[in-house]
Structure 1
Amino acid sequence: MSVVTRIAPSPTGDPHVGTAYIGLFNYTLARQGGGKFILRIEDTDRNRYVPDSEKRIFQMMQWLGLTPDESPLQGGPNGPYRQSERFGLYGEYARQLVADGHAYYAFETAEELTALREAAQAEGRVIAVPSRDLEPGAAQARVTAGEAAVIRLKVPREGETVVHDRLRDPIHFQNREIDDKVLLKADGFPTYHLANVVDDRLMGVTHVVRAEEWITSTPIHVLLYRAFGWPEPAFAHMPLLRNSDKSKISKRKNPTSVEWYQQQGFLPEAMLNFLATMGWTHPDGLEVFDLAEFGRAFRLEDVTLGGPVFSQEKLRWYNGKYLREVLTEEDVTRRLHDFLAGQKVTLPNDAYFRAVVRLMTPRMEVFSEFLEKTPYFWSEEYPVTEKAQVAIEGARDLLPDLAGRLKNLPDFGAADIRAAFAAFAQERGLKLGKVMPPVRAAVAGTMESPDLPDLLATLGRDRVVARIERAAQ
């Protein structure tokens, strides 16, 4: 059987790292099974709908390289792929359940439901909806007469509903503890439960891989599949991403928007690699691997449920590894230049820019750090830290001679500069630790910079000498 998976995000805000996380595992499972990966937009919650959110979801998936086989953009044989465009389907299926005795029309007002809910809570039971016991013909007559009604699932009052999850032991739910969920609202809009099951069935979804927060909804979905007489898909509920304190990841404690990580200059490959380790470990112990390698090694059964921590520090580590060890120097330069252009920063992609990138790649983890750490490469108005000022003040007697020594070097390459420093230190009876730091402070305004001879050779003789002379005044 060909594997068909899907993600079904709601366009209600920023594209979430949780959507990327679940999308990665669904995409990989479909590719392994030679099947299809579907992106469906669940936009029936019009109160929370954000107009540009859908477009941003598409952009996130494109950035990550998780291209669906069917979606509102690509189209496909099972469209439309927005629930708002499938509106007419859900009423038909809800009414079919009523006709078959698996659902019923309910006429209770909001005030009546509040009173019923309070009584149920006081007695420690689920809400009992009086409309459930109406004679079907009488209920239909009221609907035909124009009375407002919702359609509720008629949950069996006896027995249990068992959810079989590929990552867990069977989960048993007592039917008496499951209330009769609304399937179709009075305005004709479906609830999540009905639309989700109908769409998954009509789109041929074989594996429902989603976050574990949906476990409590799954018995409703299982009951719906059984009521319709449809085979259940394979369910797998992935562990939730957690903050460092093990709470559910939230933007109050951790940036959750994928766009934020893009704007900080994270790489999509690093993000995918990191997300792949959320609840899964490569069987060969590899930490750094690409999407293709993940597809070769991944088995759904190997996912662990310990509550993976979404650590920004670990993600930064991955990103740094990709910059230094995976991407070529040419690729890093090109991507950084594109990133800066996207930030409205114009720098020529010339030999000087490439030399600066070469120096800074070992010293940055994300692209947004590049300009923060390199102001002295682009302007004479760079800041001078307190430590750098102290180093300059302590070596004002050395700086003029150092400037002269560097000015008169036949060649201004890194090796020549290094040799000049060594000779100067020997002549003065000083250690290099007394000679080089004040030069670094003078030319960069900071004690943290690339290897000093490489830095000076990149800046160029004229700029270096002028800065040391200025600092010596």
Structure 2
Amino acid sequence: MRTSVAGVPADALRRSEVEQRLRTAVAGQGKPLLVLNTNPEIVLQARADQGLLAALNTADLLLPDGTGLVWSLRAAGQSAERYTGAEALELLLAEAARLKLRVFVALRRGGLTQPIEFSDALRRRHPGLHVDCLSVSPDASPGPTDAELVIANFGAPEQELWLTRHAAAFPKARVRIAVGGAFEYLTGRLSRAPRLLQQLGLEWLWRLLLQPSRLWRIVRAVIIFPFTVVVSSMFSSKKTSNTVRVRFAPSPTGYMHIGSLRTALYNVLYARHHKGVFALRIEDTDRARLVPGATEKLQETLRAMGLAWDEGPVIQSERLDLYTSYIRPLIDNKKAYPCFCTAEELDAMRTAQTARKQAPMYDGRCRSLTETEARARLDAGTPHVIRLAVPRDRADVAFTDAIRGEIRTPIGSVDDAVLIKSDGFPTYHFANVVDDHDMRITHVIRAEEWISSTPKHVLLYEAFGWTPPTFAHLPLLLNSDRSKLSKRQGDVAVEDYLAKGYLPEALINFVALLGWNPSGKQEIYTFEELVAGFDLSKVNPSGAIVNFEKLDWVNAQYLKRLPDARLAEMAALELEKAGMIAKQGSGWVMPASGRVVTAAWLAGVVTLEKERLVRMPELPERVKFLFAAPTDFDAKLLVWKKSDATRAKQVLTELGEWFAGYGGGWTPVDLETAVKAWIVAKGYQNGEVLWPLRVALTGQAASPGPFEISALLEKDDVVRRIKTASARL
């Protein structure tokens, strides 16, 4: 279970749980995992390093490494057992050798361990292991690789940041793991502490004897860390009553709707704005609607969107005993009662009410059963549910919505809702209220569709004698015709938009402004700006129209702002998918021509289309002329509007000869200077030369400039294309 130690995320897990998740992932049977370590030293670092803290929040699995960390988890009532990075690495390498997986190891450039030395050490320990080791700078990308197990060893926080920053470079990775001292054990430079010292939690003493230079690190782990945990715990306990606590509670019934993304985002923004806690809860009590794998997919999508949770996930189906313990007091205090009505009786009841033009709802007939009658039926094993005994001696139920103000509901329209179903599972209403109370939720931020359920929830809080949280119901998302956004009118799943190439940060920006804007003066906001400006009272209660053309615009703006290095990584993935390039060593090659492709060349390709791109998957089609000479365009296109075919042929013939003899620089600036000087010398107009040159290179009427294109092609290719075009006139 994901929890926290001194404000830093940690997973409270048993050894068997860790091993099961690692084996499942590396076998390709579950979702890919980003595996990072949490130990006393990492906790102290993350408290002072927001980048490392964000990386830990992004991880799928945090190894409970370090005796002090495990003791802290146990002291907080969590069930945890120590599992070291060395153990995880050995397990993964053994499985990789058995399954014949490709392993990629990134070592710090200039570090003590050399790639060849480490590769040999791994192969000796795991015969048959297919491993590539590379010395990498912590701020550089290795370029895409097809490795299924990726290992980084730079030391914290560089290795954690490197793995999260360059996730796109490892599209086939089943496990990405950051490890530190484990490498010293694997290469034989250092021996593990005797088993007895490990069991006594004194492995730090063994390390100190072998490496006296680690004294300060050990002092931090053994003295400063426990002190920090105690002080943090004391401070947290004093602040608990004032801490904002929110939750996102999806049901695992399919993909994440874009409206659910907005709900999750607003909860995160509210928590971060108030320096509170954002918890994740999976509401899976409706067993008939469960979709296998949906729980994992929801978490994967949240991580992909950068919405890390501080606590959870809390799984409702794992808390049935909790709900059972809470229902008994309600029955004893006459706030709830058993109902034995059959499905046929309920259908007949609804039919009669509809005929009388009444709203169908339970009429409370089982409330009139005496305790003796109810007990007799229970003892006989008669199927039953437990219902809320709605008080009928009041006019209405009221609550104040943070977005909509006071909302009152006539008590006559609130029925005796089912709290516990006949299969023993709680309904949404009951589990929702119990969980929110148990998790100390202070603000419930959810969709407008739950307004009608809130009176039941308020009555449940009153029945228990609890103080309700603050409710805030977000406006509906609407299509352009003001109908409710639904799958019938297009894609609405977040995964669909990610698959189409929309950037997570662009989607966040777009969704954040559906019903709210921090200032109303701009359309592009950083996440930090959204956090700083978030205010529930400024959320518009009216439905928000979803304009996907605006999403295109927002995504294009974000693409323009991305660093060239990241754009090159993204371009490589799309061009590989299209079969235009293939991985070769640390670079790529064009299968059709054999030309070697570098990261710098890819950056130039993206720059060519950067101002026009809306989504990166559009790139292959836009730049296909760089990979194969155009052959199917109309020759008339080569003729400039103020020229003719004869003149165009003459220009291209002479230009081709000039390019063949040209020996100057091959940058866009060099080419522009040289070509325009030639144009002046020949007495031509710019248009009658540059227009046919651009068409000869691309076969298109609209394309980037001829100098930028030429600089990305090889000289012989430029000459060949010009001659081919000339021959067509």
Q: Deviations over 1:321-357 (max 9, x none)?
A: 1121x32222322344356668886463432212112
Q: How does 1:301-320 map to 2 (within 5 A)?
A: 301-320=537-556
Does structure 2 conserve the Cα–Cα contact (< 8 Å) formed by 1:405 and 1:420?
Answer: no
Q: How does 1:82-231 map to 2 (within 5 A)?
A: 82-123=315-356, 124-127=358-361, 128-157=363-392, 158-231=394-467
Does structure 2 conserve the Cα–Cα contact (< 8 Å) formed by 1:126 and 1:178?
Answer: no
Deviation of 1:137 after TM superposition, in Å, equals: 3.0
Q: Report the 3-state secondary structure (helix = DSSP H, G, I; strand = E; otherwise coil) of the residue aligned with 1:59.
A: helix
Match of 1:356 in 2: 605
Deviation of 1:200 after TM superposition, in Å, equals: 0.7
Q: 1:68 to 1:426 in 2, by over 3 A?
A: same
Q: How does 1:27-426 map to 2 (within 5 A)?
A: 27-72=268-313, 81-123=314-356, 124-127=358-361, 128-157=363-392, 158-283=394-519, 285-324=521-560, 326-337=561-572, 346=582, 348=588, 349-380=598-629, 384=632, 389-392=635-638, 394=645, 395-411=648-664, 412-419=666-673, 422=676
Moved more, 420-429 or 19-28: 420-429
Q: 1:141 to 1:322 in 2, by over 3 A?
A: same
Distance in 2 of aligned mates of 1:293 and 1:65: 15
Write 1 or 2 for the structure with the bigger share of strand. Answer: 2
Distance in 2 of aligned mates of 1:439 and 1:140: 92
Uncovered stretches (5+) of structure 2, i.e. residues with no partner: 1-241, 589-597, 640-644
Identity %: 40
Distance in 2 of aligned mates of 1:291 and 1:468: 48
Q: 1:125 to 1:317 in 2, by over 3 A?
A: closer
Distance in 1 of aligned mates of 2:427 and 2:521: 43
Deviation of 1:416 after TM superposition, in Å, equals: 4.7
Does structure 2 conserve the Cα–Cα contact (< 8 Å) formed by 1:98 and 1:104?
Answer: yes
Q: 1:139 to 1:383 in 2, by over 3 A?
A: farther
Distance in 2 of aligned mates of 1:175 and 1:383: 75
Match of 1:76 in 2: none
Distance in 2 of aligned mates of 1:373 and 1:459: 15
Does structure 2 conserve the Cα–Cα contact (< 8 Å) formed by 1:421 and 1:432?
Answer: no
Distance in 2 of aligned mates of 1:149 and 1:390: 81
Deviation of 1:12 after TM superposition, in Å, equals: 1.1
Distance in 2 of aligned mates of 1:202 and 1:338: 45
Moved more, 32-41 or 395-404: 395-404
Counterpart amino acid of residue 139 in structure 1: A
Q: Report the 3-state secondary structure (helix = DSSP H, G, I; strand = E; otherwise coil) of the residue aligned with 1:148.
A: coil
Does structure 2 conserve the Cα–Cα contact (< 8 Å) formed by 1:155 and 1:223?
Answer: yes
Normalised by the size of structure 2, how large is the TM-score? 0.60
Normalised by the size of structure 1, how large is the TM-score? 0.91
Match of 1:457 in 2: 711
Counterpart among 686, 689, 694 of residue 440 in structure 1:
694
Distance in 2 of aligned mates of 1:315 and 1:261: 10
Counterpart amino acid of residue 182 in structure 1: V
Match of 2:148 in 1: none
Distance in 2 of aligned mates of 1:389 and 1:163: 73
Distance in 2 of aligned mates of 1:372 and 1:131: 67
Q: 1:342 to 1:433 in 2, by over 3 A?
A: closer
Deviation of 1:283 after TM superposition, in Å, equals: 2.1
Distance in 1 of aligned mates of 2:413 and 2:318: 34
Match of 2:245 in 1: 4
Distance in 2 of aligned mates of 1:294 and 1:319: 17
Uncovered stretches (5+) of structure 1, i.e. residues with no partner: 73-80
Q: 1:249 to 1:418 in 2, by over 3 A?
A: same
Does structure 1 conserve the Cα–Cα contact (< 8 Å) formed by 2:386 and 2:419?
Answer: yes
Does structure 2 conserve the Cα–Cα contact (< 8 Å) formed by 1:421 and 1:436?
Answer: no
Distance in 2 of aligned mates of 1:295 and 1:25: 9
Distance in 1 of aligned mates of 2:371 and 2:582: 71
Q: 1:153 to 1:340 in 2, by over 3 A?
A: farther
Q: Report the 3-state secondary structure (helix = DSSP H, G, I; strand = E; otherwise coil) of the residue aligned with 2:296.
A: helix
Deviation of 1:430 after TM superposition, in Å, equals: 5.9
Q: Report the 3-state secondary structure (helix = DSSP H, G, I; strand = E; otherwise coil) of the residue aligned with 2:485.
A: coil
Distance in 1 of aligned mates of 2:687 and 2:488: 45
Q: Report the 3-state secondary structure (helix = DSSP H, G, I; strand = E; otherwise coil) of the residue aligned with 1:22.
A: helix
Q: Report the 3-state secondary structure (helix = DSSP H, G, I; strand = E; otherwise coil) of the residue aligned with 2:471.
A: strand
Q: Deviations over 1:360-412 (max 9, x none)?
A: 211212111111211112234x5745xx5530375445432332233233424
Does structure 1 conserve the Cα–Cα contact (< 8 Å) formed by 2:387 and 2:419?
Answer: yes
Distance in 1 of aligned mates of 2:524 and 2:326: 47
Deviation of 1:439 after TM superposition, in Å, equals: 2.4
Distance in 1 of aligned mates of 2:685 and 2:547: 42
Counterpart amino acid of residue 462 in structure 1: D
Distance in 2 of aligned mates of 1:246 and 1:434: 52
Distance in 2 of aligned mates of 1:341 and 1:28: 37
Counterpart amino acid of residue 337 in structure 1: A
Q: 1:235 to 1:343 in 2, by over 3 A?
A: farther
Counterpart amino acid of residue 329 in structure 2: Q
Moved more, 415-424 or 457-466: 415-424
Q: Report the 3-state secondary structure (helix = DSSP H, G, I; strand = E; otherwise coil) of the residue aligned with 2:565.
A: helix
Deviation of 1:458 after TM superposition, in Å, equals: 1.8
Q: 1:453 to 1:232 in 2, by over 3 A?
A: same
Q: Report the 3-state secondary structure (helix = DSSP H, G, I; strand = E; otherwise coil) of the residue aligned with 1:305.
A: coil
